[in-house]
Amino acid sequence: MIIRNKIDRTFGPFGTSTGFCLLLGGIIAAYFSLYAIIIAVIGAFAAFTSTNTVIDTDIRKIRHSDNLFGIFPAGKLIDIRPGMKLRLTKGHRGFVGYIRGNQPVDIHEHDIRITLIDENRKPILPVRKFKTYESARNELDNLSLLLGLPAI
């Protein structure tokens, strides 16, 4: 069974919205110049690139990848070894964008993540993210049983 989990947008909210503007502007400007297609491709790259985690329970491997343009996965498969564990961690990503007059606009995202850790308790990769602790705890128990890994 293959489980796909979307983790984050690679370029954050500001990069994603800028990518959509570049994509739209490039498509409109392509009517006047073919060079605008380059701008549209750059905009599509920024708008649709995201990070995902794919768990293949049949072959016991996990892939943490960036999906380029939202389609092409770029990442390597990691074998699930017996010494690995799953745990809950707090996640925080902060983004700062500047509007006119160099006024900062902050966006903070707080979440709970299920993280795969190695034998030395060092985090390897995030497996899934949640908004609430209760849903993360339930899914941690389910993934622990499904993958045969202990949960901390």
Q: pTM (2 decimals)? A: 0.81
Of the candidates 128, 4, 7, 3, the one whose C-alpha atom is nearest the C-alpha of residue 57 is 3
Of the candidates 140, 135, 134, 142, the one whose C-alpha atom is nearest the C-alpha of residue 152 is 140
Tokens of 74: 């770029």
Taking CA 116 as the corner, what is the angle to CA 110 and CA 122, rounded to the nearest 5 degrees? 90
Chain segment 79-112, per-residue pLDDT in tens: 988 889 999 999 888 888 888 878 888 888 899 9
Query: What pLDDT score was predicted for residue 53?
Result: 93
Neighbours of 57 (CB within 10 A): 15
- In angstroms, how far is CA 136 from the centroid of its own chain? 17
